[in-house]
Amino acid sequence: MNLNTDMTVNRITDEIWEIPISEKPGMLVPARIYATKGILQAMDSGVFDQVTNVACLPGISRYALCMPDGHWGYGFPIGGVAAFDVQDGVISPGGVGYDINCGMRLIRTDLTLADVQPHLEQLMTELFRKVPAGVGASGFVRLSGEEFGRVMTHGAKWCVERGYGWHRDLVRMEEGGCIEGTDPSSVTDHAIKRGINQLGTLGSGNHYLEVQVVSNERIFDPVTAAALGITGNEQIVVMVHCGSRGFGHQVASDYLKRFEKSMRRYGITVQDQQLACAPFRSPEGQEYFSAMNCAANTAFANRQVITHQIRESFATVFGQSAESLGMELVYDVAHNIAKVERYPEGDLVVHRKGATRAFGPGSPELPEMFRQTGQPVICGGSMESGSYLLVGTDQAVRDTFGSTMHGAGRTMSRAQAKKTIRGAQLQEQMKQRGILVKAVSMSGLAEEAGLAYKNISEVVESVDRAGITKKVAELRPIGNIKG
């Protein structure tokens, strides 16, 4: 089998591949990659190198994992999952990423394509106006330092208290949109100044707001879909992908720098400086965990303020309240985070970087409404292809620390994509295919062309066949806002 690595990669099943600990000095556990043979063969060399570097980190449990959307990141691969013992393991900002609690949110509506198509241009213009995107964008919410502290501790709950959402939204978010155990004193003034004006903004890169359609023939599990509010019949839904913006980015930068110094004191050596880490129980480890949770809560709040703006935009364009348009939240899920979760080995710090929690119906952590379906998992494809709604499984909890994929995953660098297609050309091509794109940056648009990504359907098939998530519905884009 031709792979972009010289390492031995053994087949466990058609969707699971294992690199034994003999392949790199210092590996403490094997590395496992979830992928079809085709996806594995296309994976870049960085994935194999990075997932085996992760397997060398102190206190790692069972396996270092990479999901089928995995690709070369920094430190951990994107798509990486690793769990560390809370007593003698580590926590690593590189295993979470700079964009702490980057995540996905899906909002349903009662509208159909026939309702929206005549107003699509107006709707996308209104959304583009109300949801700032792109480099350094600031939002409409103005906060004092003290109030921003409440955002850090209360997350999406703060938004609902301020009228930016409905109380019932909260139960449809991972952790109820508010992670406990935060301490704003663990966050630097630098981080606060960087992020205080950015609540309700998308950012750029692969972040987006997308209006999508659900057709009956692309619903794979009608019972689960209906339970989650997805009814098909050309139903309109809205997907949001963004995170903690400059605030989270600065928290990551601050602690990576701090951990680089403290690692010497703890006698930890790593294969890549971006794997800088600290013992989870150390003062530095606990402070990062707290600061990371502050950033995670601001990300929940960011997506909640954006949801408020989306609801306002729809209400303006369609002349009805968001409630009468049925704009309920389907779910909000993080895909860049570290959390303490209980597994047979004990309490573990599960790092997911470009990977989604995927708890099954049997998980006691889930609210009652998801005990039959399993936790919703929202996976974004490229803006040209489509996205998926899936649900977690009990097998994921057993096999992958309750984790699955988060998106399509790149196959081409940004520089290559820009050489292949121009932004304006791509925008016109998409318009011809019925997808209206509003973008702040044309070069940024070109970087996100569908040709730069894996085929999301094949990626989704991998995790479905592996049993770690189950397909519910495919979502087809008709309008996209990019930073």
Partner 1 sequence: MAWTVRFLEKIALADIGFEAEGESVEEVFRGATQAVLETMATPSTVSGGWERAIERSDLDPSALLFDWLSEVVYWKDAAGVVYREAPLTLTREGDVWLLHARLIGAPVDYLTQELHADVKGVTKHLYELKQTGGRWKVRVVLDV
Residues that bind partner 1 (CB under 8 A): 44, 46, 71-75, 78, 97-99, 134-138, 190, 193-195, 197-198, 203-206, 245-246, 249-250, 252-253, 256, 260, 272-274, 276, 410-416, 419, 440-441, 443-444, 447, 483
**Nearer to partner 1 by C-beta: 401 or 453?**
453
CA 293 from chain center: how many Å? 15
Taking the C-alpha atoms of residue 424 and residue 159, their distance in angstroms, rounded to an integer, is: 36
Least distance from partner 1 to the Cβ atom of residue 128, Å: 10
Is the alpha carbon torsion for 228, 311, 248, 442 positive or negative?
positive
Taking the C-alpha atoms of residue 45 and residue 399, their distance in angstroms, rounded to an integer, is: 25
**Nearer to partner 1 by C-beta: 34 or 98?**
98
Least distance from partner 1 to the Cβ atom of residue 134, Å: 5
Taking the C-alpha atoms of residue 171 and residue 366, their distance in angstroms, rounded to an integer, is: 9
CB 201 within 8 A of CB 245: yes
Least distance from partner 1 to the Cβ atom of residue 203, Å: 5
Least distance from partner 1 to the Cβ atom of residue 317, Å: 22
Please spell the DSSP secondary structure of 95-130, one letter per residue: GT-SSTT-EEEEEEEEEEHHHHGGGHHHHHHHHHHH
CB 305 within 8 A of CB 162: no
Q: Which two three-digit tokens encode residue 26?
A: 């210092």
Q: Is 406 a catalytic residue?
A: yes
Least distance from partner 1 to the Cβ atom of residue 473, Å: 26
Cα–Cα distances in Å, from 396 out to 85, 148, 357? 19, 36, 9
Least distance from partner 1 to the Cβ atom of residue 472, Å: 26
CB 61 within 8 A of CB 348: yes
**Nearer to partner 1 by C-beta: 436 or 472?**
436
Residue 86 in 3-state DSSP? coil
CB 376 within 8 A of CB 228: yes
Question: Which residues have a Cβ under 8 Å from the Cβ of 264 and sit 6 or more positions away?
Answer: none
Taking the C-alpha atoms of residue 88 and residue 270, their distance in angstroms, rounded to an integer, is: 16
Any alpha helices (H) in 29-181, and if so which ranges? 37-42, 45-54, 113-116, 120-130, 145-154, 156-161
**Nearer to partner 1 by C-beta: 397 or 412?**
412
Length of the chain: 483
CB 177 within 8 A of CB 161: no
Q: Tokens 């971006």 correspond to what residue? A: 274
Nearest to 18 by CA among 79, 83, 78, 62: 62
Taking the C-alpha atoms of residue 173 and residue 192, their distance in angstroms, rounded to an integer, is: 24
Catalytic residue among 71, 154, 308, 406: 406
Nearest to 210 by CA among 52, 51, 430: 430
**Nearer to partner 1 by C-beta: 58 or 97?**
97
**Nearer to partner 1 by C-beta: 184 or 392?**
184
CB 430 within 8 A of CB 437: yes
**Nearer to partner 1 by C-beta: 205 or 361?**
205
Least distance from partner 1 to the Cβ atom of residue 167, Å: 31
Least distance from partner 1 to the Cβ atom of residue 254, Å: 10
Taking the C-alpha atoms of residue 149 and residue 186, their distance in angstroms, rounded to an integer, is: 11
Q: Which residues are catalytic?
A: 406
